[in-house]
């Protein structure tokens, strides 16, 4: 038994700055994951850029049999999915800086974690497997952030397939991940996010990735509900939810370089956590240590000489964040993806929903999304 990792594409330039590229996959082999590396040059002239490379990937889909979706995630959702599936993030060039190089690595897991021996996609049992990448490298805003700068040149991509060779046994199935429900927010809005009955679910994820509208800012309560209130295994507020996720998954770690402007709010890869910055270069200003919360934090820089005067110009910063809620995605901690006893066979239920109760800060522009991991064991079309 061994894993084979080989290029399907190497340094292939995207066809255009916006569009949809389709990549044909082989018709046999046990597919554990797809590695995607994208590198390019950030747009120039940015004063306070708030769009990163991953924000420009609007959808990444693995599709089989012409239209059957196996995976469907945006770039930021995929990065969050990687962390929850124990797949650490790697890059030395995570940047938003004007005219600077940028490079990000993504990994689409077909199992519960990186190189899961029990769950992967058997390509010989499907037809026409494709990876579809929908992108907009000219994007200048996303989710309420509006100060990005379009890229001028098409970036490159490399695609590496992770295939299990000489397996010791046949896999049990694969994990399908996609969005199953969304709604638009409103002050104190309450919504039963109905979960389709039929699949076996190994995990659910709630996302609210929007400027000043993160989960910790707009949630009052989140509740998992079986059979119309007959069983309510989870009902907590956002702080208890974050604490439980830290206990279950550990604190996530995020590292990057960025160009930040004093007093400007930026999207944070981890919604809740500690931002630990360090300046790049000889500058007369120092960043403050801040606690992240609700995608509503602005960064503060002070004059080193006095420690008092705020600085509102651009500063290049390298930083690490330790925290939870990657891209404002919260796994629902009722589930343990590695313990089948916690999975939910929804066909045995009458009703199944995630109830979201907003507070008065929930705005009317934010879309709350529910993603699901489904355990697929049959290849019937």
The string of pLDDT tens digits covering residues 265-285 is 889 999 998 887 776 665 666
Q: Which residue has the tokens 């509503």?
A: 296
The predicted model scores a pTM of 0.95
**pLDDT computed for residue 280 by the predictor:** 64
pLDDT tens across 169-228, in order?
A: 999 999 999 999 999 999 999 999 999 999 999 999 999 999 999 999 999 999 999 999
| Rounded Cα gap, residues 129 and 44, in angstroms | 37
3-state class of 264 per DSSP? coil
Domain 2-165 matches domain 176-381 at the CATH topology level = yes
3-state class of 298 per DSSP? strand
Residue spans per domain, the chain: 2-165, 176-381
3-state class of 240 per DSSP? helix
Looking at 183-294, list the stretches that DSSP marks H as alpha helix, in order from N- to C-terminal side.
215-218, 238-249
Is the domain spanning 2-165 CATH 2.70.9.20? The answer is yes
At 310, list the tokens.
């705020």
Mean pLDDT of 50-73: 96
Residue partners of 375: CB distance under 8 A and separation at least 6: 119, 173, 175, 176, 199, 200, 201, 202, 343
CATH number for 176-381 (one of 3.60.9, 2.70.9, 3.90.1280, 3.90.1200): it is 2.70.9
Q: Look at 99 and 342; give whichever has higher pLDDT.
A: 342
> pLDDT confidence of 299, banded at 50, 70, 90?
confident
């Amino acid at each position: 038994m061994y894993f084979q990792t080989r290029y399907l594409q190497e340094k292939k330039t995207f066809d255009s700055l916006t569009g949809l590229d389709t990549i044909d996959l082989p018709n046999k082999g046990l597919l554990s994951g797809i590695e995607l590396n994208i590198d390019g040059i950030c747009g120039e002239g940015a004063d306070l850029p708030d769009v990163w490379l991953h924000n420009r990937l609007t959808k990444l889909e693995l599709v089989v049999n012409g239209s059957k979706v196996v995976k469907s995630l945006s770039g930021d959702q995929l990065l969050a999915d990687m962390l929850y599936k124990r797949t650490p993030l790697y890059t030395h060039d995570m940047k938003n800086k004007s005219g600077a190089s940028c490079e990000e690595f993504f990994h689409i897991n077909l199992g519960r974690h990186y190189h899961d021996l029990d769950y992967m996609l058997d390509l010989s049992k499907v037809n026409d497997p494709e990876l579809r990448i929908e992108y907009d490298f000219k994007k200048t805003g996303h989710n309420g952030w509006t100060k990005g700068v379009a890229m001028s040149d098409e970036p490159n991509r490399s695609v590496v397939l992770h295939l299990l060779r000489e397996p010791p046994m046949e896999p049990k199935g694969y994990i399908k991940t996609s969005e199953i429900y969304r709604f638009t927010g409103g002050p104190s809005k309450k919504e039963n996010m109905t979960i389709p009955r039929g699949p076996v679910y190994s995990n659910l994820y709630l996302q609210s990735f929007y400027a000043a509208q993160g989960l910790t800012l707009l949630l009052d309560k989140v509740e998992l509900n079986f059979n119309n209130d007959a069983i309510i295994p989870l009902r907590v507020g956002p702080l208890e939810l974050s604490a439980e996720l830290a206990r279950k998954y550990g604190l996530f770690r995020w590292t990057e370089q960025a160009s930040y402007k004093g007093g400007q709010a930026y999207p944070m890869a981890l919604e809740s956590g500690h931002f630990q910055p360090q300046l790049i270069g000889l500058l007369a200003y120092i960043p403050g240590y801040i606690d992240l919360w609700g995608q509503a934090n602005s960064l503060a820089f002070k004059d080193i000489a006095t420690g008092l005067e705020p600085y509102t110009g651009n500063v290049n910063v390298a930083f690490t964040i330790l925290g939870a809620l990657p891209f404002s995605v919260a796994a629902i901690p009722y589930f343990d993806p590695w313990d089948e006893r916690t999975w939910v066979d929804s066909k045995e239920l009458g009703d199944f929903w995630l109830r979201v109760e907003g507070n008065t800060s929930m705005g009317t522009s934010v879309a709350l999304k529910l993603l699901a991991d489904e355990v697929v064991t049959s290849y019937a079309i």
